[in-house]
Amino acid sequence: MPNILLTRIDNRLIHGQVGVTWVNHLGANLILVANDEVASDEVQQSLMEMVLPDAIGTRFFTIEKTIKVINKAAPRQLIFLVCKTPQDVLRLIEGGVPIKEINIGNMHFKTGKQQISSTVSLDDDDKKTLRKLHDMGIKLEIRRVPDEKIEVDILKYI
């Protein structure tokens, strides 16, 4: 069983809050970004790695590769799993990745999305996917940083 400390949805993937604040709070030593696009984009990977302390390892895997290798993680790997969308997380869970809780940190607003907090906006597909995750028994929370109080009850929006 992999040591997944937290799974976070953040369309920015790795940035200051993820790379410093959350990593320190969790005690993670590995950030695994599971996203098909970023897995093949070395420029984006390099930019994301720039914000991390040297002691933190990174992996950039496709959703499929994550499903195939996550259960081979060494016990010493304390994994912070970061995905871009709820749909990516659902695919991971349906593929057998043992995720019990999801932190939703940032989902940008764009036309067709309903803003439900200062950093989270959802379209109909996001709502449907989050409802499915909730119905599977996955705990959902919206929180930008660890010491922030959870203020939004996501269930009333999905």
Which residues does the annotation mark as catalytic? 15
Q: Distance between CA atoms of 105 and 29, rounded to whole angstroms?
A: 20
Under 8 Å CB-to-CB from 47, ≥6 apart: which residues? none
DSSP-assigned letter for residue 120: B
SS3 content of the chain, % helix, strand, coil (to 5): 35, 25, 40
